[in-house]
Amino acid sequence: MRKLQIIMTGVAIAAFISTPAFASDHGHNNKHDQHKSHWGYSGEAGPGHWGSLKKEYSACSAGTQQSPINIQTQRALASKVGEIKFSYQPTPVAVVNNGHTIQVNYAPGNTMTVSGKTYDLLQFHFHSPSEHMINDKHSNMEVHLVHKGADGKLAVVGVMMNTGSMLNALAPVWNRLPHELNKVTLNPGTINAADLLPNNTQNYYHYMGSLTTPPCTESVSWYVMKDAVEVAAKQSAKFSNLIEENARPVQGKNRRFILANE
């Protein structure tokens, strides 16, 4: 049986797993079933305790460049970070319910290039509400498109999702949401991640941060789009009813610069 590369939520840990083993029989009542997870979003396994859950998670409490953050637009420094070139193509995907989010693992061969460096798209996943804040406000949801460079460094594109019209790009995923924990759904059709991006992708905020989930590893390049996309209330509700809230609180900026590419 061929193996699927699963890059765990929030820009997290890559692992190779076989499809049959990954399709668990835990049932659909998986709303942060903490006894099966090392970490979660509430209680003793919540974000305030991540750093003490495992030695490998120490950056979650000791790190100084953590994500997400509250982006104050008037304090962002106007800069020419550079054009982002997205080279995404329609591709078959694997949709995963890992208990923390719905994650869509992407086929190889799709890239983004910025500042002369090319990153491969590994996966995208969702948070509700948004993890980043813009001027002290959350969006209804946020999608993270996770990329990896040849040197192993990660780059993540964050797109805010505000309540509005139906986001048709979500339909292939939302129509096949796996309700079982660690269930993999192979989508027989194709999805183009470009359809999750706003029309204007050249106005964005850039800063150096971290994974937003354990192990909270730093040196992650973040590109948060200025423009949001719209998602229907019933679409966000379908996600929230399955996953519940899965946003890490914003972290201190700690003298970091936030660059505004315009």
Report, as an integer, the average pLDDT of 182-192: 79
Domain edges within the chain:
54-261
pLDDT tier at 187, thresholds 50, 70, 90: low
Exposure of 197 in the CB half-sphere (CA atoms within 13 A) = 22
CB crowding 211-228: b at 16 or more within 10 Å, else e: bbbbbbbeebbbbbbbeb
Compute the half-sphere exposure of residue 183: CA atoms within 13 Å on the CB side of its CA: 15
Instruction: Given the residues 32, 100, 132, 138, select the one marked as catalytic.
Output: 100
pLDDT score at 11: 38
Question: Is 100 noted as a catalytic residue in this protein?
Answer: yes
- Confidence grade of residue 199 (pLDDT, cut at 50, 70, 90): very high
Residue 46: CB partners within 8 Å, gap ≥ 6? Answer: 39, 40
Three-state DSSP state, 62: helix
Per residue in 32-84, pLDDT (tens digit) is: 343 444 899 999 999 999 999 999 999 999 999 999 999 999 999 999 999 99
pLDDT band at 141 (very low <50, low <70, confident <90, very high): very high
Parallel/antiparallel/unpaired status of strands 85-87 and 111-114: antiparallel
What is the per-residue pLDDT across 217-251, written as a single tens digit (0 to 9) for each? 999 999 999 999 999 999 999 999 999 999 999 99
pLDDT confidence bin for 198, thresholds 50/70/90: very high
pTM equals 0.86
Averaged pLDDT score across all residues of the chain: 87
- Range among 8-17, 164-173, 189-198, 201-210 rated most confident: 201-210
Does 28 score more than 50 pLDDT?
no
Q: How confident is the model at residue 19 (pLDDT cuts 50, 70, 90)?
A: very low
Q: Which of 3.20.20.140, 3.40.50.700, 3.10.200.10, 3.50.50.60 would CATH assign to domain 54-261?
A: 3.10.200.10
Direct distance between the N- and C-terminal alpha carbons of the chain, in angstroms, rounded to an integer: 47
